[in-house]
Amino acid sequence: MKAIGAAILSTALAFGLARPVAAESATHPQIGPFGFDLAGMDRSVPPGADFYRYANGTWARTTPIPADKPNFGMFTRLDDLNRERVKGILEGARHDAHSKAGVAYAAFLDEAAIERRGLAPARPWLDRIEAIATPADYAQVAAQALREGVAVPFEVNVTQDDRHPDAYVLKLGQAGLGLPDRDYYLETNEAMARMRVAYRDHLSHVLVLAGVDPRDASNRSDAILAMETRIAKASWNRVDTRDAGKTYNRLTRAQATALAKGFDIDTFLRAAGAHAGDVVVSQPSAVAGIAGVVGSTPLPVLKDALRVAVLDAYGDVLPKAFARERFDFHERLLSGAEQPEPRWKRAVAFAVDAVPDEVGKAYVARYFPADHKAAAEALVRNLLAAMDKRIAALDWMTPQTKRRARAKLAAFHPKVGYPEHWQDYSGLDMRADDAFGNRMRARAFVFDRDMRKPGKPFDRDEWRVTPMTVDAFANFSAVEIVIPAAILQPPFFDPEADSAINYGAIGASIAHEITHQFDDQGSKYDEQGRLTTWWTSADLGGFETRTKALARQYDAYEPLPGQHVNGALTLGENIADLGGLAIAYDAWRLSLAGREAPTLEGFTGDQRFFLGWAQIWRLKYRDADLRQRLLTNPHAPAAQRVWTSRNLDAWYEAFDVRPDQSLYLPSNERVRIW
């Protein structure tokens, strides 16, 4: 224990996590007197009544959601900062013909050229759709659409093989819905009924923009909606779709073809570039059901659905009428945004999407010094050490399973900051006068690159996110966690902030990703990243008892009237929040090496730790966005994530939480897993 504590202290000092906060410094935290915004609190609310409002209430009450956003908080604030930084990089490159990112950015910004060209860039696509005469034609054109980033009834991608993690495998799954989730089609309440009417109108408007006679558009949109409703009925719900065991179904090509009766899945996959080999089918009954829907749907309806999908996917690189229609439905109605983002922000996103590594390399060189990467990697190692100590002390797990769990922890592959090797885009053509074509070619470039991977060795150095991503990730099959450069900034991390704030923020965030490898799905993967059973049955039963208790806790939360958090859908994230907070707290206490943290501005060290956690979840939603998230998002809303602290004994002691306060849980009801 002393060795772990000393290691954590050494790292903390290097990373600014255990800076002597009482000492005078030439620099100051970017937020508040010690890294926390005291003015954003609402101290009229007892912490035990609502810890989110206590820590963030004034901020929530006084901070407006910008008109171009469906929600706003710490993540979006950092994303805005990073887009400003990337804008500076791209502005410097927009006239450089050798910069693919600069060319993509400039082409997107040239609205006049986009207006002049009208529907001409999409005409080859519309003509291709019009020429479909047989089901085989449809399968080939749908595959081409998929290749270029257009939604079709089936999802195809290439991933690490869950049961053979040293190789890539082709994956096939359900898709084909224009609304965010199957419940939008199947729920009978008034809100969803209104949404379906609005969606039908949107389909009609896009068909008219594509040249369909307005007198026919209404009936044709009804037919698309009817087809998608049948697809929704065949589709799996999101709880089943996140189940790693249920979604691993490896089939031969012949078996997959037999499963998808009614649709020529073999022609579809071959046209997409997958010429041979096995395929993992994520939702077999759904794939079979959707194939039946597609096979029994008249070709004119399939063609109309493709027209809408193409124009929706490419609406922001077509004339303003298309972009406006796309925004009015997908952003305004579904998410609640009041106006589109400024063109330059969308241009930044467009360029990053086209050539992420070219932009990422420039971003890292300018904004992420090498010492930040080294120190963050050291912090990860020490959080892993704290997790190892917790596993060793578990009272509900047998020594046999503990050994395997600790072996898995020792096998972790952390990725911090940015990739070691950058993607080569020399084969990608970017043109200054062709925003539509740039998107099409960029998406096909990535798709084709992936389609060459099945059966080949898995590249453990590959990144699937950019350094500019304000988030962190866990990859079960690779036994890895990924911490991009952009999240290593205030309020998550500030080298001048108090150590307790940093541990409650970035420490808990990194530990959250560590815990994901042991959540209800990550725990199904062993130390080699194989989807397999490595637990004893007794330990698995004890684990499931605890996770079910956590799911019930979240099921009780009602962020919108009549709409609760789905404890099963959010279970993995809730386990990760709970474990991450506990691990980070242990690591912070060890970093003190037996000393007591000073009291700052009237707050003890333990109180500051939990305030650091609460501050990163300052986040406000528009009702439409929150409603969609409750149905589709595996994360609980921000306030309920803050409330995770009600399961930690240290939180009760820090804030003197009493039994008569609403967040109070008796000790035997506090969920303890990792």
- Do 220 and 290 lie in one domain? The reply is yes
pLDDT score of 16: 46
Residue ending a domain, among 293, 314, 340, is 340
pLDDT score of 266: 95
One-letter-per-residue 3-state SS of 33-73: CCCCCHHHCCCCCCCCCCHHHHHHHHHHHHCCCCCCCCEEE
Residue ending a domain, among 315, 340, 365, is 340
The reply to whether omega before 491 is within 30° of 0 (cis) is: yes
> Distance (Å, rounded) from C-alpha 203 to C-alpha 568?
33
Say if 104 falls within a structural domain: no
Residue 307: pLDDT band by 50, 70, 90 thresholds?
A: very high
pLDDT score of 370: 87
Tell me how many domains the chain contains. 2
- Do 65 and 144 lie in one domain? The reply is no
Least confident window among 4-18, 123-137, 153-167, 218-232: 4-18
Q: Of all residues in the chain, what percent carry a pLDDT higher than 90?
A: 93
- Decide if pLDDT at 3 tops 50: no
- Do 213 and 308 lie in one domain? The reply is yes
pLDDT score of 98: 96
- Do 499 and 597 lie in one domain? The reply is yes
Contact (CB, 8 A) for 159 and 457: no
- Do 375 and 286 lie in one domain? The reply is no
Say if 151 falls within a structural domain: yes
Say if 430 falls within a structural domain: no
Say if 111 falls within a structural domain: no
pLDDT score of 388: 97
Looking up residue 628, the CATH number of its domain turns out to be: 3.40.390.10
pLDDT score of 46: 98
Contact (CB, 8 A) for 467 and 485: yes
Domain that holds residue 212: 116-340
What's the mean pLDDT in 351-379? 93
Do the bridges between strand 279-281 and strand 168-174 make them parallel or antiparallel, or are there none, so unpaired? parallel
pLDDT score of 471: 96
- Residue 475's H or E segment, with its range, is strand 473-475
SS3 content of the chain, % helix, strand, coil (to 5): 55, 5, 35
What is the chain's mean pLDDT, rounded?
Answer: 95
- Do 400 and 320 lie in one domain? The reply is no
Both tokens of 389, joined, read 């100590």
- Which one-letter DSSP state was computed for residue 171? E
Residue 25: pLDDT band by 50, 70, 90 thresholds?
A: very low
Question: Nearest 5°: CA angle at 568, between 176 and 466?
Answer: 60
What's the mean pLDDT in 377-382? 88
Q: Of all residues in the chain, what percent carry a pLDDT higher than 70?
A: 96
Among 27, 31, 69, 49, residue whose Cα is nearest residue 616: 31
Say if 448 falls within a structural domain: no
Q: Residue 322: count other Cβ atoms within 10 Å of its Cβ.
A: 23
- Do 586 and 654 lie in one domain? The reply is yes
Say if 228 falls within a structural domain: yes
Q: Which amino acid is at 181?
A: D
- In 3-state terms, what secondary structure has residue 388? helix
What's the mean pLDDT in 450-474? 96
pLDDT score of 575: 98
- Do 663 and 626 lie in one domain? The reply is yes
In this prediction the pTM is: 0.94
Region for 35 from its dihedrals, namely left if φ exceeds 0, alpha if ψ lies in -120 to 50, beta otherwise: left
- Do 166 and 45 lie in one domain? The reply is no
Instruction: Count how many residues are written for the chain.
Output: 674
Looking up residue 298, the CATH number of its domain turns out to be: 1.10.1380.10
**CA–CA distances in Å: residue 3 to residues 7, 8, 462, 502:** 6, 9, 33, 22
Residue ending a domain, among 340, 364, 390, is 340
Do the bridges between strand 279-281 and strand 413-417 make them parallel or antiparallel, or are there none, so unpaired? unpaired
- Decide if pLDDT at 18 tops 70: no
pLDDT score of 22: 35
Say if 618 falls within a structural domain: yes
With 0-12 CB in 10 A as exposed, 13-18 as middle and 19+ as buried, what is 666?
A: exposed
How much is the CA Rg of the chain, to the nearest whole Å?
26
> Distance (Å, rounded) from C-alpha 213 to C-alpha 207?
8
Say if 275 falls within a structural domain: yes
- Do 366 and 269 lie in one domain? The reply is no
Both tokens of 637, joined, read 């809303």
- Do 501 and 588 lie in one domain? The reply is yes
